[in-house]
Amino acid sequence: MKSESKTLVWGTIIAVTLVAIASIKVTRFPDFHLPISDEWLKFDLATALLIVILIFSYKSLLRRPYYWLLLSAFLVVHVAFYVFFFSSQIGGPLQDDIQLGTMAGLEFVVFALVIFGVYRVAPNMKWMQ
């Protein structure tokens, strides 16, 4: 089986599992609410979007384990940076969005510089067109 079809199969299995878990949660446990504030939900969505952009920007490096190690380290630093520096400074919704956007942009540039220093590969942004 080719790696693309394995990826498709695993992606489908994970998606079906997540949908099944969500439907069970909604039907069996309607009063269950996660203790997640809007601030953390925004941060989670911004983090997921940033990681997806980084993965698609460096498709040529997806088979290299060191790239995944760098991406994982980047994720840990990203979360730690937010928890230690920004979570206590949140003022209002607009200020929160500005800080998240600025932080994500700066982190993308730093990650691109690190990847360029290690692999001499620039981000491929053609997929965004």
Going from N- to C-terminal start, the domains of the chain cover: 1-33, 36-128
DSSP state letters, 89-101? T--SHHHHHHHHH
* CA-to-CA separations, 89 to 14, 21, 75, 97, in angstroms, rounded: 36, 35, 21, 12
Q: What is the pLDDT of residue 56?
A: 85
Residue 124, SS3 per DSSP: coil
Dump pLDDT digits (tens) for 75-106.
888 888 877 776 666 556 566 667 777 778 88
Q: Which residues of the chain have pLDDT under 70?
A: 1-5, 26, 30, 32-38, 86-97, 127-129
Q: Which of 110, 119, 5, 125 is nearest to 61 (CA)?
A: 119
Note the pTM of the prediction, 2 decimals: 0.62
Task: Determine the Cα–Cα distance for residues 57 and 51; give it in Å rounded to an integer.
Answer: 10
